[in-house]
Amino acid sequence: MSETATPRLSPPSGGFSGLLNKWGLPAPLLLGYVGLLLFMVGDGVESGFISPFMADNGAGSEIHASYVITVYGVAVMLASWLSGALSELWGPRRVMLIGLAIWVVFDVLFLSVAVAGHNYALMLVFYGIRGFGYPMFAFGFLVWITAVAPVARLGAAVGWFYFAFTGGLPTLGSLLASFTNPVLGHYGTLWLSVGVLALGGLICVLGVRERTGYQRLAPPDVKPVQSLISSVSIAWKKPRVGMGMLARVINTAPEFGMLVFFPTIFSDQIGFGEGRWLLLVSVIYGTNIFFNLIFGLLSDKIGWRTTIFWFGAIGCAISILLLYFVPVALGANYYWVALLVGALYGATLAGFVPISALLPSLAPENKGGAMALLNLGAGAAAFVGPAIVSVFLGPVGAAGVVIIFAALYIVAAILVRFLKLPETTEKAIKQDASLQEVSAAVN
């Protein structure tokens, strides 16, 4: 390894820090994980009711609301890409601070101006710009994690990331909303979410003192334009990274898409009501957060590709069909069955967790570009899912959209079969090195 390589997070021999590192959670980043959880709780409060809320407060219909969410998704997609590229140039912590500021400022404008005035045009603008916030914060922290965690335990480290990420969006966020909506109403609950998110953001950016995230990760000679270009060009220079990005899009596109039209179907058409729909969402993602850990740890043992292929792609193709067709066929009297198939979907969704370890490991010499594409895929999912609903819900109906989602998971399974690790990453795993150390040695 190069003498200038960034020092690795060496696991302490004992104590609480040693225990955390043994579990695959980098001890110096602990408060970051805690802050991320609270941040995503604040962001996820709205996930179970934002579409009908917009329809009733300025959008006019759920189709118009889906346009707002689609604009939001475009912003998420762009910000997700930028979070990886800019973290390389400015350091993850600065990118996270920018994301936190954007979210708070434009959500306040969205609630106090657009929603209060029932102004659809401003709703599009403010909610859309707010979409730059959470990806820059959350995925900036993911870059921080992948830079310092040992590659041999990177699956577990990103598993903890998604434990916190999905623990908030939408699991605990929806659960919180199920308690506060009857008391504060939807509007009051949305204001509460601002405070929860701001608290989590401050805990994260002020509490984590690990120094790697405070500085640029790219070599000194890399210029801003060069970094942005390389974060795109890596898709064809390293085709496997490009294929991995497409698999990452497919990972959560159905998740974002179903949240656009499932609330109406499950609450009204099936007859569960809003309360039981929100509880179902909490069960889906409550299961998901624990399986994020399970599959993160398991993937370091049985292989990242194997985990993604069988438990993620193939599993989701089956479970998303069950999630829609079983409750529709059985009706409101079999709510407990809906909870079971919902838990199954949440568990299989977690099978994709190792892709956040796999992609940067495919190109450790340009992990910043790989992370930018990974984050672009994650952000694109927030656009692609609702866009599929907007385009196909009318022509093919809800059942047709769900079948399209299942077919996409099969495509992801095919793509994952091509994502073989390079020799440099295999060597790093044996040496218990981090990707930042591998990058420094190569460059």
Q: How confident is the model at residue 74 (pLDDT cuts 50, 70, 90)?
A: confident
Average pLDDT over residues 1-7: 36
What are the angstrom distances between the C-alpha of 286 and each of 40, 174, 408?
A: 14, 10, 24
Residue 8 has pLDDT above 60, yes or no: no
What is the number of domains present in the chain? 1
CB distance 397 to 386 below 8 Å: no
Kindly report the CATH number assigned to the domain that includes residue 279.
Answer: 1.20.1250.20
Residue 427 has pLDDT above 80, yes or no: no
Residue 365 has pLDDT above 80, yes or no: no
| pLDDT at 230 (0 to 100) | 78
Average pLDDT, the chain: 89
Average pLDDT over residues 16-24: 83
Residue 356 has pLDDT above 70, yes or no: yes
Per DSSP, helices labelled H in 265-334 are: 273-302, 304-306, 315-330
| pLDDT at 133 (0 to 100) | 96
Chain-centre distance for alpha carbon 443: 30
Residue 310 CA to residue 148 CA, distance in Å, equals: 28
Q: Domain for residue 263, yes or no? A: yes
Across 223-227, 262-266, 368-372, the highest mean pLDDT is recorded for 262-266
Q: Which amino acid is at 166?
A: T
| pLDDT at 2 (0 to 100) | 34
Residue, of 196 and 376, whose pLDDT is higher:
196
CB distance 288 to 347 below 8 Å: yes
Q: Domain for residue 15, yes or no? A: no
Q: How confident is the model at residue 3 (pLDDT cuts 50, 70, 90)?
A: very low
pLDDT tens for 143-190 read: 999 988 888 889 999 999 999 998 888 778 888 998 999 999 999 999
Q: Domain for residue 174, yes or no? A: yes
DSSP 228-259: HHHHHHHHHHSHHHHHHHHHHHHHHHHHHHHH
How many other C-beta atoms are found inside a 10 Å radius of the C-beta of residue 369?
27
Q: Domain for residue 353, yes or no? A: yes
Residue 115 CA to residue 56 CA, distance in Å, equals: 10
Residue, of 83 and 39, whose pLDDT is higher:
39
Q: Domain for residue 262, yes or no? A: yes
Q: How confident is the model at residue 7 (pLDDT cuts 50, 70, 90)?
A: very low
Q: Which amino acid is at 117?
A: G
| pLDDT at 24 (0 to 100) | 87
Across 168-177, 231-240, 345-354, the highest mean pLDDT is recorded for 345-354
Residue 366 has pLDDT above 90, yes or no: no
Q: Domain for residue 48, yes or no? A: yes
Q: How confident is the model at residue 23 (pLDDT cuts 50, 70, 90)?
A: confident
Q: How confident is the model at residue 422 (pLDDT cuts 50, 70, 90)?
A: confident
Two structure tokens written together for 282? 């909490």
Residue, of 110 and 60, whose pLDDT is higher:
110
Q: Domain for residue 13, yes or no? A: no
- From first CA to last CA, the distance across the chain in angstroms is 11
Q: Domain for residue 9, yes or no? A: no
Residue 127 has pLDDT above 70, yes or no: yes
CB burial of residue 407 (10 Å; 0-12, 13-18, 19+): exposed
Residue 103 CA to residue 317 CA, distance in Å, equals: 33
Domain that holds residue 209: 30-219+226-442
CB distance 143 to 83 below 8 Å: yes
Instruction: Name the pTM for this structure.
Output: 0.84
| pLDDT at 184 (0 to 100) | 96
Average pLDDT over residues 283-308: 92
pLDDT tens for 238-282 read: 999 999 999 999 999 999 899 889 989 999 999 999 889 988 988
Q: Could you give the 3-state DSSP secondary structure of residue 150?
A: strand
Flag the least confident range among 9-13, 139-143, 244-248. 9-13
Residue 429 has pLDDT above 80, yes or no: no
Q: How confident is the model at residue 45 (pLDDT cuts 50, 70, 90)?
A: very high
Residue 442 has pLDDT above 70, yes or no: no
Per 3-state DSSP, what percentage of the chain is helix, strand, and coil (rounded to 5)?
85, 0, 15
pLDDT tens for 315-346 read: 999 999 999 999 999 999 999 999 999 999 99
Token pair 């898709």: residue: 235
| pLDDT at 172 (0 to 100) | 87
Residue 292 CA to residue 289 CA, distance in Å, equals: 5
